[in-house]
Amino acid sequence: MTLYPTEPTLVPLPRIDDPRGALSFLQAPHQAPFPIRRTYWIYDVPGGELRGSHAFQNTEEIIIALSGSFEVILHNGTVEQSWRLNRSYVGLYVPRMMWRTLKDFSTNSLALIVASTHYDENDYIRSFTDFRRLAGCA
Ligand code: TYD
């Protein structure tokens, strides 16, 4: 069981292979180290578009490429890391207080995001300057 990591972490998801096809799943607390309160998904992204470019003060997430591929770039105020997600049985755990950007979506890609909070615009930090200050890096 994953125990509340403070760093971004790739989370291997179960994959049940069967002659009829494969099945994967995500449940708390085994694969999602937080209570799941919301899911949303991003799709039909035109070539070259970016999503995200903000941080959350409290929300933790797991991002999965259910179809296609895209890049997730995470910045903790000091260090930037990136991952190309392209497997429906691997999630990326994103802790709170990470500046995050999703980009380079392949055609027909589908990003599923599982979140620890209900939607709250007040949880967003939309200025990178404010983010660095709140992260104690400014
Ligand atoms: P936003 O999180 O800014 O999108 P992205 O980070 O992918 O660029 O959300 C875009 C819009 O969708 C914004 O008006 C808020 C709305 N929204 C909801 O109403 N509920 C949700 O759970 C999410 C994630 C967004």
User: Considering only CA atoms, which residue is closest to atom 18 of ligand 1?
Assistant: 119
What positions carry a catalytic annotation?
54
Q: What percent of the chain has pLDDT over 70?
A: 96
**Is the pLDDT score of 27 beyond 60?**
yes
**Is the pLDDT score of 3 beyond 60?**
no
Chain segment 70-124, per-residue pLDDT in tens: 999 999 999 999 999 999 999 999 999 999 999 999 999 999 999 999 999 999 9
- How far apart are the CA of 113 and the centre of ligand 1, in A? 11
In the prediction, which pLDDT does 138 show? 74
For the Cβ of 103 lying below 6 angstroms from any atom of ligand 1, the answer is no
In the prediction, which pLDDT does 6 show? 81
**Of 6, 9, 7, 13, whose CA–CA distance to 30 is shortest?**
13
Residue 109 is encoded by which pair of tokens?
Answer: 């890609």
Q: What one-character-per-residue DSSP string does 81-125 give?
A: EEEEE--TTEEEEE-SS-EEEEE-PPTT-EEEEEESS---GGGEE
- How far apart are the CA of 21 and the centre of ligand 1, in A? 32
In the prediction, which pLDDT does 1 show? 44
